[in-house]
Amino acid sequence: MSSSSSEVDRLRMRAAALTLEKGAGTDRDKPDSKRDVFADLGSPVSPLRMRATPSSSSSSAGSAKSPALCNAAVARVGGGAAGRGSSHSGEMLPETACSSNNNPPRPPGHRRSGSGPLIFSGGSGSSAGGGGGGSTATSSPLANALPAGNICRTGHRVAAAAPRPSARPDVLGSGTVYYGHGSIIRGGMAPARTSIDASSRSQAASFPAPGAESLQEVTRAGNEFYKKGRYGDALRHYDRALALCPDSAPCRGNRAAALAGLGRLADALRECEEAVRIDPSSGRAHARLAALCLRFGMVEKARRQLTLAQNANQSDPAEWQTLHEVESHLRKCIDARRVGDWKSALREADATIVNGADSSQLLLALRSESLLRLNKLEEADSTITSLLKLNRASLSSVSTKLSGMSADAYVHVVQAQVNMAFGRFDAAVGMAETARLIDPANAEVGLILNNMKLVARARGQGNDLYMTGKFAEASIAYGEGLKYEPSNPVLYCNRAACWSKLGRWAKSVEDCNEALRIQPSYTKALLRRAASYAKLERWADCVRDYEVLRKVFPGDKDVAESLFHAQVALKTTRGEEVSNMKFGGEVEIVTSIEQVRAAIDSPGVTVLYFMATTNQQCTQITPSVDALCSECPSVNFLKVNVDESPMIAKAENVCIVPTFKIYKDGARVKEIICPSLHVLRYSVRHYAVSNS
């Protein structure tokens, strides 16, 4: 008994080893193997595939003719002596098998508790349980006997002898539960082994494992949606596949791909980390995780994952090149920041983002700070807005420090600085306080927080004093804030308002100039400077500022009127006639040649618009002419209906409508026939009073 048992064990273990060499070797890492039962499912990340294993010639060999993706239940039956059992014919579960936590994968050759004995082929004297049942083989097999359905040294399969009928009614059937060789699936897709009660054992032996076909179909459908770019639909199918087999690394990889397509990179990163945890030997999972880490700017983690992928022969040289480029540009960006070379820092930050780290909060913070120092506040603010849309959890894996500051604290500091520049003082202090909590030992963070608190306090005091009419004291308070934040445009603009109230127009212009130097698009400072120019009677400068404001606020009547009065004053200083100039109004309709002559001879710019109510192009452009009249209040607009006043059209030689004639100080300077709105607007503005 002992010699025959040892020989059986030796042969069974040899067969298991050979099976591993055939099925669990290099082919496991080749998802496009021609030996797969199912065709390539077209998975975007890791196709769910299975190994095909021919069934034994014996019906009791236990090999399955159809492989199962993930069994929901596996029948357990008692067999042989108590506590003894052997694995079903040829069955092995790889280390990456999909199994429950209560049933971890067994090593090759391990006996399943309660399974029937191996079926042997050979001469007389051998005894086996029928149908792979529970009776125990007690006679010694021949010396060359092998377990039925396993692989011999030459790679050929040995047919099994016909089994004896089983004496037990509750034993496993003849391989009809997708048992045996068909249960060996690459990519971590093996049957989940769960226990069932005695009443359901016969049913489990007669039908395929539940969910086997549906998993394949669900995954295939998800892959088709992914190919079409319908990532939401693909994700729903991958979720269903993952519910069928939650411990599958390929299913996790598929779900990560769909999440990345939807822009949910943080969720995709977590799925990839889970796939690596489930199957640490999967080179594809490591490569996939490395790519996502690189997008988040986690260079060191990406390198570790690429190294693991390389060890599994799944590394791409292009991925290493991308890693090196991102690392190089990031290092140059940090070096440029250290020496205050903000142009180089911005250039290198952009290069790092373009080369792959497009979702890195650290890179976006570096870019935003560079823009802030270059007085490009709007771009800095928009970059921070993009940063806020990203998941902050990835920063915990970034070990990079800037001026000894942790990456997470640095991101909060930059956000605080941008908020301070735009006058969001309370939000700035809150961000700085958060940075202090993240990195309490960093001296720079502490200094920044203290300065921001002092600036916010000075601004609050200045506002209170201004509201009570204490303008001189308010200007001093704003000046105190500028000592701690010398590049704050809001404090400069507020102090300029104090100078205006005190009648110190030149000082007001100086502070407005400083605010606009820091933030060129600061309209409040521009409006305040234009008003100060008017008080100083610097009309050319005043008109220039109001013209800019008019473009920014085309519907603002106050700005339009201020511009008109500045233009009139400018003409007066030049000695030009302005007695007939008036502000605003609608396009005036003229019906006589005398009205036209009077308008043409008046000082300034006059636009004659010849139109017809029945003309479609005139109908389309008339509303724009009315709007242009409001935009250019110093220009005199006249409308001539050629159907009602044909004599005026004849006197002006107008044969086609719409026609526009522009007169300046009594002389015709331009005639436009059927113009586009862009050409008309440009021409009118070009000949306006401000350009005389």
CA distances from 655 to 83, 344, 597, 639 (A): 111, 61, 19, 16
Which carries the bigger pLDDT value, residue 453 or residue 551? 453
The answer as to CATH 1.10.1740.10 being correct for domain 487-573 is no
Nearest-angstrom CA–CA distance, 679 and 683: 6
Domain limits, the chain:
1-39+47-208, 212-318, 333-431, 487-573, 588-691
**Predicted pLDDT of residue 396:** 55
Q: How crowded is residue 480: how many other Cβ atoms within 10 Å of its Cβ?
A: 16
Whether 119 shows a pLDDT value over 50: the answer reads: no
8 Å CB contact between 208 and 178: yes
In the sheet with 636-641, reading across from the earlier edge strand, the strands are 588-589, 636-641, 605-611, 659-664, 667-673
Beta bridge partners of 417: none
Q: Which two tokens stand for residue 604?
A: 């300034």
Q: Of 609, 577, 595, 606, which is closest to residue 667 (Cα–Cα)? A: 606
Q: Are 545 and 559 in contact (CB under 8 A)?
A: no
CA distance 125 to 143: 12
Of 97, 144, 94, the closest CA to residue 121 belongs to 144
Decide if pLDDT at 28 tops 80.
no
pLDDT score for 398: 58
Residue 658, by phi and psi: left (phi above 0), alpha (psi -120 to 50) or beta? beta
- 3-state secondary structure at position 663: strand
Residue 515 to residue 533: CA distance in whole angstroms:
16
- CATH number for the domain whose boundaries are 588-691: 3.40.30.10
Distances (CA, A) of 241 to 104, 217, 460, 570, 687: 21, 9, 58, 76, 70
Kindly report the backbone phi and psi dihedral angles of residue 565, in degrees, each rounded to the nearest multiple of 5, phi listed first.
-65, -35
Same topology, domains 487-573 and 588-691? Answer is no
pLDDT in tens, 446-495: 999 999 999 999 999 999 999 999 999 999 999 999 999 999 999 999 99
> Would you state the structure tokens that stand for residue 264, as one six-digit string?
């949910």
Q: Which residues contact 144 (CB under 8 A, 6 or more apart)?
A: 122
DSSP SS3 for 467: helix
Rounded distance between C-alpha atoms, residue 184 and residue 510, angstroms = 80
Of the listed ranges 275-284, 381-390, 489-498, 534-543, the one predicted with least confidence: 381-390
Q: Enter the pTM of the model.
A: 0.58
**Of the candidates 378, 385, 373, 324, which has an alpha carbon nearest to the alpha carbon of residue 351?**
324
Give the residue carrying structure tokens 């070096």.
335
CB neighbour list of residue 233: distance below 8 Å, 6 or more residues apart: 222, 225
Distance of CA 216 to the CA centre of its chain: 30
* Closest C-alpha to 258, from 237, 286, 278, 280: 237
CA atoms within 13 A on the CB side of 350: 10
Contact 348, 340 (CB under 8 A): no
CA distance 356 to 564: 53
Peptide bond into 54 cis (omega under 30): no
Residue type (1 letter), 145: A
CB atoms within 10 A of CB 574: 12
Q: Which is more confident, 274 or 98?
A: 274
Q: What is the CA 258 to chain-centroid distance, rounded?
A: 12
pLDDT tops 80 at residue 176: no
Average pLDDT over residues 138-145: 40
What letters, b where the CB count within 10 A reaches 16 and e where it falls short, cover 541-569?
bbbebbbbbbeeeeeeeebbebbbbbbbb
Residue 46, pLDDT score: 42
How confident is the model at residue 31, as a pLDDT?
32
Give me the pLDDT at residue 534, please.
95
CA separation, residue 73 to residues 107, 178, 311, 348 (Å) = 20, 11, 35, 56
Is residue 388 helix, strand or coil? helix
Residue 233 tokens, joined: 């639909």
Sign of CA dihedral 568, 570, 573, 574: negative
Q: Name the residue with tokens 């958060």.
A: 434
At 591-641, the pLDDT tens digits run 898 888 888 887 778 899 999 989 999 999 988 888 888 777 778 889 999
CATH of 212-318, one of 1.25.40.10, 3.90.1150.10, 1.10.10.10, 3.40.640.10: 1.25.40.10
CA distance 167 to 128: 11
Helices (H), 536-674: 539-552, 557-573, 593-601, 616-631, 646-651
**pLDDT computed for residue 203 by the predictor:** 34
The DSSP secondary structure of 607-632, one letter per residue, reads: EEEEE-TT-HHHHHHHHHHHHHHHH-
| pLDDT tens sequence across 637-688 | 899 999 999 999 998 899 999 999 999 888 899 999 999 888 998 888 888 7
SS3 content of the chain, % helix, strand, coil (to 5): 55, 5, 40
660 beta partners: 609, 672
- Spell out the residues 6+ positions from residue 62 whose beta carbon is closer than 8 angstroms to its own: 56, 88, 89, 90, 91, 119, 132, 148, 149, 172, 174, 175, 179, 180
Residue 670 pairs in a beta bridge with: 662
Residue with tokens 């200007």: 475
Tell me whether strands 588-589 and 405-406 are parallel, antiparallel or unpaired. unpaired
Question: Which CATH code is given to the segment(s) 333-431?
Answer: 1.25.40
Lowest mean pLDDT among 351-355, 545-549, 555-559: 555-559
Query: What dihedral angle (degrees, nearest 10) is formed by the CA atoms of 193, 197, 202, 206?
Result: -40
Calpha distance 291→356 (Å, rounded)? 9
C-alpha dihedral (620, 623, 626, 632), degrees to nearest 10: -80
Residue 550, SS3 per DSSP: helix
- For residues 280-289, give the mean pLDDT: 90
Local structure of residue 28 (DSSP, 8 states):
G
